[in-house]
Structure 1
Amino acid sequence: MSNIEYEAKIYDVIPADIVAKLARLGAKEIGSYNFRRYVFDTIPATPNRWVRLRSDGQHATLTVKEITAEAIDGTHEWEVEVSDLETTLEILAKIGIKPRGYQENKRQEYNLGGVQVVIDYWPKLKPYIEIEGNSAKEVINTAKLLGYAEDDLTTKNTTELYQDIGIDIEKMLELTFNSVVEDRMFT
Structure 2
Amino acid sequence: MKKIYTIIAALAIATGATAQSFTVHTKDGKTVKYHCSDVDSISFDNEKEPEVVAPRIGDIYYSDGTWSTKLKEGATPIGIVFRVGIASDMSDREGFYTKKDGVTPFDEFHGYVVALRDATAKDDTNEGVWWSAFDSKFTGTGASTNIADFLGYTNTQSIVETAIRDKGELNGSTNNYPATYYATTVYE
TM-score band w.r.t. shorter chain:
under 0.3
Where relative contact order (Cα < 8 A, 6+ residues apart) is larger, the structure is 1
Q: TM-score, normalised by structure 2?
A: 0.25
| Structure with max Cα Rg | 2
